[in-house]
Amino acid sequence: MIRTRRDVLRAIAAGLTAACAPGCRADPARDADGRTVASLWFSYGGKNREVLLDLVRRFHETQGHYRIEAVYQGDYFEGLAKLRTAMYAGAAPAVTHVVAEVVPYLAEANVLEPLARFPGASDLGLVRAIAQEGSYTNGDAHPLVALPFNRSTPIAYYNRAIFESKRLAPPATWDELRETARALTERDASGTSRWGFEVPIDWWFWAALVAQAGGEVASEHGAPTLGGDAGVRALAFLQTLVATDRVMRPPPGRDYNAWQATNTDFLAGRAAMIWTSTAFLRYLEDNAKFPVGAAPLPRDVRAGVPTGGTFFVMPRGAPPAAQEAAWAFLRFMMAPEQANAWATRTGYLPVSEVGLNQLEMAGYYDAHPNDRVAVAQLADASPWPWAPDLFRIQREIVQPRLEEAVLEGEDPARALAAARAAAREP
């Protein structure tokens, strides 16, 4: 019989212990069916999340040993912040995915599991230009730590209905882009009712312009040259479109908010032509009330695009069993069938060489010419330097200065010189 307060406390403590016991004793790395569990942190919303979760489901149906627990962690930036915090706390997931520019930073910080030791790592048959070896300058000189997941290039999307009514073709050069955007822009008494062109004021698209103007954002060894004269020319081109020609709307918001705003304007018919990632191909096609056209980005002195999107990585520190499960999942995702399912249902690039050939042979790209654009652009893709500071230069130093130049009319040469100076500071 309970008489005193002490007895009550004792009873509660005993109850808690009893309640916890079964859960505490069970092996946290196994689920009720005895499958080894590994956690996957991902950064997708909408359509892409659906497709990923569907592939995870398919993984569970095709084998009985492993279970992947997929957990949404916010957009790429939020996901990275949580990943670092979890790494510090010793609670990192067995597998996750990070943007290309972050891979060298994490690899050099020695927090990623080298993948070469896992069975079959050397013969995954990946598309070179978007695998680690081709995505970075001398990418194969570094230990394999990243497998391509959702890789992309920027492409141009256009409202086919408007283009046809105006008898316009997608622009193939910068000059044509200016002319086309001017022809597409419509103004009325209250302002601009339709913008000819829209692209987020973002490092990625500026990097594309730099490549087209004949420059590189960084030297081979990772020193931030920011394109030199080509960088200035690229930035001045954006200024011309926004301030001089007034044919381009700088979308509100920053980071992925600006990307979303660009998509929304395109879908609502407020922008007739946009640049964004090939990742949104299916999403834009499915949600537009008009036929969507895709085209390669125009050239200045040459054609050029960066690659984008993310790589799968395995943070160090997960138990070996979980790593084994994660690796099984990665192999599954790299296989032609899954790589193609992912690519054709989202718009990302197929990562498997065999898979890509299968799509070509089956006539997929003839039936879906929009999907071919990004694949064809890989021939003009420039690799990123293997530079640990790259993402910091991008986000902290270059990004605000691009905004400054485009939105406040800061001199592009001065803005980029200031960025180079800031990049040299620790």
Partner 1 sequence: MTPRRAFHPYLALAPTLLLLALFFLYPLALVLRESFYAWDLVTPERFVGLANYHALARGGALLGIVGRTLGYGVVVVALSMALGLMLALALDRPGRLYAFVRGAVFSAYVVSWVAVALLWTWLLDGDAGLVGAALRRLGVGGAGVLSDPKTALWALALVSVWKITGYAMVVFLAGLQDVPRSLHEAAALDGAGPLRRFWHVTWPMLRPSAAFVGTTSLILSFQAFDVVRVMTQGGPVNSTTIFVYAIYEEVFMNLRVGRASALAVVFFGCLLVLTGLQLWAYRLGNAKANEKGKRA
Contacts of 340 (CB under 8 A, 6+ apart): 350, 352, 355, 358, 359
DSSP 119-147: TTGGG--B-GGGSHHHHBTTGGGSPP-EE
Strand-pair partners of 275: 156
Calculate Rg over the CA atoms of the chain: 24
- Asked whether the beta carbons of 297 and 275 are under 8 A apart, the reply is yes
Least distance (Å) from partner 1 to the CB of residue 244?
14
Token code pair at residue 148: 């391509």
With binding defined as CB under 8 A, does residue 270 bind partner 1?
Answer: yes
Which window, 15-23, 36-44, 75-83, 149-157, contacts partner 1 (CB under 8 A)? 75-83
Of 61-69, 127-135, 373-381, 394-402, the segment contacting partner 1 by CB under 8 A is: 394-402
- Residues 95, 99, 106, 279: which binds partner 1 (CB under 8 A)? 106
Q: Compute the residue count for the chain.
A: 426
How many residues make contact with partner 1 (CB under 8 A)? 36
Tell me the closest approach of the beta carbon of residue 62 to partner 1, in angstroms. 35
Binding-site member from 191, 320, 363, 366 for partner 1 (CB under 8 A): 191
Residue 286 engages partner 1 in binding (rule: CB under 8 A) = no
Among 78, 140, 186, 229, binds partner 1 (CB under 8 A): 78
Residues pairing with 97 in the sheet: 312
CB of 255 to partner 1, least distance (A): 6
Residue 178: CB partners within 8 Å, gap ≥ 6?
240, 241, 245, 247
Residue 425 within binding range of partner 1, rule CB under 8 A: yes
Q: CA-CA distance, 15 to 397, in Å (whole number)?
A: 56
Task: Restricting to residues 206-265, name those near partner 1 by CB under 8 A.
Answer: 249-255, 257, 265
**What is the tally of helices (H) and strands (E) in the chain?**
19, 14
Would you count residue 371 as binding partner 1 (CB under 8 A)? no
Q: Which residues bind partner 1 (CB under 8 A)?
A: 77-78, 81, 84-85, 87-88, 105-106, 109, 111, 190-193, 249-255, 257, 265, 268, 270, 392, 395-396, 400, 403-404, 407-408, 425-426
